[in-house]
Structure 1
Amino acid sequence: MEKTSLHLAAFAIVWFSKNGTFAQIIMGNPDRGAIAVKNADSIFLSWRLLGNDSKNTAFNIYRIN
């Protein structure tokens, strides 16, 4: 009985991996986005990168007083 269960589990893993039914990342069509939140004495700045952006992507940030 144990061998049958093991064979069935191995078959299921191979079957699902061949058919691509394992979890996949579903990417929408977002754009880059920025958000700034002002605290009492500072400003928190964050932005969203695209999923296919390089790790070397850089931005220039300017502040106007």
Structure 2
Amino acid sequence: MKIYTVKGMTCAHCEKSVQEEVGEITGVSSVTANATTGKVTVEGTDFNDEQVAEAIREAGYELA
């Protein structure tokens, strides 16, 4: 499990966007985004930080 801090998430729609993009990464089994804390928890195997950062950018946000 890895926890990332994301800038710009403010609502449930933001959480859903991030969860959908990160969830598409091969090897990711679970994603939980929390707009209140700005934290994204990713579980799985065989994924890396750059893949997560790119997925978060695709969702319109960036790592803090």
Q: TM-score range by the shorter chain?
A: under 0.3
Structure with larger RCO (C-alpha < 8 A, sep 6+) = 2
Superposition TM-score, scaled by structure 2 size = 0.28
TM-score normalised over the length of structure 1? 0.28
Higher normalized strand content (fraction of residues) = 2
Which protein is bigger by CA-based radius of gyration? 1
